[in-house]
Amino acid sequence: MFRTRLLSGIVLVLAVFFLISRGGIILYVAVAAVSLIGMRELYQAMGVRPGASGKENKSLLELAGYGGALLYYAAVWFGVREYGMFALVAALAVLMSVYVFTYPKGQANQVMAAFFGVVYVAVMLSCIYLTRQMEGGFYHVWLIFLCSWGCDTCAYCVGVLFGRHKMAPVLSPKKSIEGAAGGVAGAALLGILYAYLTKGDMAGYGVICAAGALLSMVGDLAASAIKRQTGIKDYGKLIPGHGGILDRFDSVIFTAPVIYFLVTLMA
């Protein structure tokens, strides 16, 4: 299992490095595709598909959710914020229309879960592409992964060595307060080191990575909460040894918008 996890992790890192290095339409298509896969995993877990198992044919609500995500990504491509807001409103309107005209086939909680998937997965992950497209984005975008995956690694190491006090015993019994502190500190140090190597703003990158690390833990625990509440172990099996897209990108989902907005404010 460890070998499988390690090898798939290496392949994933190489794929991310290639896509972000290239940027442009290649990264845009990749992020959009990953968003749709992540939405499918979430919809299956939260019962947006007919039946609790999520193995039946796609529902109209699910298709409407995908349509809303694609409409939003079209707005992202054209780079007009107003179009993005219109896409979200249109997605909600279509979802509510499906709910109304197929009543009582669908449930209100399915509608909310479908719209939640558009925002939680598609909109938040789009910030990877948006950050890459910024001025200096080639350097800024790496902070998203540096603070999320860096925090995860540092938190694990510190937690194993010094962890004594449980941070969220119900959601994640192995996570400790000491590990969380080590994760934030480690992410900040990685940000400072990265700034030094790229001749960036050392203080700024340190603050950005620390803030991103804090939110990455929220993202991790939020994904765990959904899994526990829906009674699943993993969101999928796409990435051997890791699970699905949401299992591997749960923290990135939160750090991407944080990095995007902090870099924008500090520019």
* pLDDT for position 1: 60
Q: H-type helices in the chain, by residue range?
A: 2-22, 24-45, 60-78, 81-101, 108-117, 124-133, 137-140, 142-162, 177-198, 202-230, 245-248, 250-266
In the chain, what is the greatest distance between 2 CA atoms, to the nearest angstrom?
Answer: 59
Asked if pLDDT for residue 23 goes beyond 50, the answer is: yes
Range 235-256 average pLDDT: 90
pLDDT in tens, 28-67: 999 999 999 999 999 999 988 765 444 445 689 999 999 9
Token duo for residue 25:
């339409």
31 vs 14: CA distance, rounded Å: 15
* pLDDT for position 165: 86
* pLDDT for position 260: 95
33 vs 126: CA distance, rounded Å: 11
pLDDT in tens, 93-141: 999 999 999 888 888 999 999 999 999 999 999 999 999 999 999 999 9
38 vs 44: CA distance, rounded Å: 10
* pLDDT for position 111: 94
Range 239-252 average pLDDT: 88
Do residues 122 and 39 make contact, with C-beta atoms less than 8 angstroms apart?
A: yes
Q: Per-residue confidence at 2, pLDDT binned at 50, 70, 90? A: low
Give the chain's length: 267
pTM of the complete model: 0.92
Which H/E stretch holds residue 80?
none
Report the 10 Å Cβ neighbour count for 89.
11
* pLDDT for position 95: 95
Do residues 174 and 155 make contact, with C-beta atoms less than 8 angstroms apart?
A: no
User: Which residue, among 150, 217, 143, has the nearest Cα to 177 in the 3D structure?
Assistant: 217
Range 168-194 average pLDDT: 90
- Please, what is the average pLDDT of the chain? 89
49 vs 178: CA distance, rounded Å: 40
Percent of the chain with pLDDT over 70: 96
What is the per-residue burial (b if ≥16 Cβ within 10 Å, else e) of 15-31?
Answer: ebeebbeeeeeebbebb
